[in-house]
Structure 1
């Protein structure tokens, strides 16, 4: 005889994300609805996946608190830009007794293949962290060979560092920040010198890291 929990309908919570306001999430929403997620339980962010501080993502996670629920995405990378961040979310869901479904990769943690996939993600997340550390060490070594103190470019003056941190916290990156550094009084700063500083900043401040879109 089936238990009450087995007969209880699964509550499906959907999450969709596009990186910019110019992109359209309709395809993701349609796929989630086709899977059976009610429209009122689909949460949509128009934001980069480099941070877990996304308002609709936070609301979706708060809604998905009860054992027996499903957290559904169109594609795994909608959760975030790093394996470490994705794995952290999956571990949180597992602790709550919430299943996870990714429609594109056909990942469903209710089955043994889905659980095996999570274990593989943990292995690759650790590899990702090791690669970031190695790249950072190599960048510091190259900076020292160029005569730059402490592995960070001398051109990153305190004024530039303060402005760069402010812009990075606001989601600005790469060329946009580098060009802003050029406008601040100080030694000439090359693109490579700024990117070496940004890479080191990413490792020190990552949640758990930022590597690509």
Structure 2
């Protein structure tokens, strides 16, 4: 009977230290920790999770820091839990305090998974609505352009004169050569 842990970060910029700390505090040995870093929870192919599932035996336990680390939608999480159970193992989430060791834990798991997906779907819906509202008001997201109309006119005149190299023009208008080349595509 072995207790395994699964860690997942969605992007390579995210840090797994919080998850690793909670798992270490739960007494799980590092050699039994499987981590997919920079892998979305919505992806079906998560190599380290697959390796963990292949290794499970009767009586083992799979622990995650938080339920959403296992998957992004209710169906996916419940399918993974079913796979874990089919191998005779149990599942436990540290943050939510849920374990499939009994029928009440399984019922709570189903409810919590549904609420997690609802929360995620609501967040996505609000984000889309906010972006659409901003677009309707003429605002667009992203970084403001380095080259405005006035600067583009100056670049056009300097380039048309033929007296300056592109590197010199970039230095004169105080932008990088890459930005200059992008701006010149607009000319």
- Distance of 1:115 and 1:109 partners within structure 2: 5
- Distance of 1:19 and 1:84 partners within structure 2: 19
Asked if 1:30 is matched to 2:41, the reply is no
- Distance of 1:121 and 1:91 partners within structure 2: 16
Asked if 1:77 is matched to 2:49, the reply is no
Give the Å deviation of 1:121.
6.2
Report the counterpart of residue 104 of structure 1 in structure 2. 95
- Displacement over 6 Å in runs of 4+: none
- Distance of 2:26 and 2:18 partners within structure 1: 13
TM-score, scaled to structure 2: 0.57
For residues 40-68 of structure 1, the C-alpha deviation after alignment (integer angstroms, 9 at most, x for no partner) is: 1101112111112011111111122x111
Report the counterpart of residue 189 of structure 1 in structure 2. none
Report the counterpart of residue 3 of structure 2 in structure 1. 12
Give the Å deviation of 1:120.
3.7
Residue-pair matches, total? 119
Gapped regions of structure 1 (runs ≥ 5): 1-9, 132-213
Asked if 1:48 is matched to 2:40, the reply is yes
Check conservation: 1:87, 1:121, Cα contact below 8 A: no
Report the counterpart of residue 166 of structure 2 in structure 1. none
Report the counterpart of residue 59 of structure 1 in structure 2. 51
Q: Which has the higher contact order (CA 8 A, sep 6+)?
A: 1
Change (3 A) 1:99 1:40: same
RMSD, aligned α-carbons:
2.5
Report the counterpart of residue 114 of structure 1 in structure 2. 105
Other structure's SS at 2:80 match: helix
Gapped regions of structure 2 (runs ≥ 5): 122-187
Structure number with greater Rg is 2
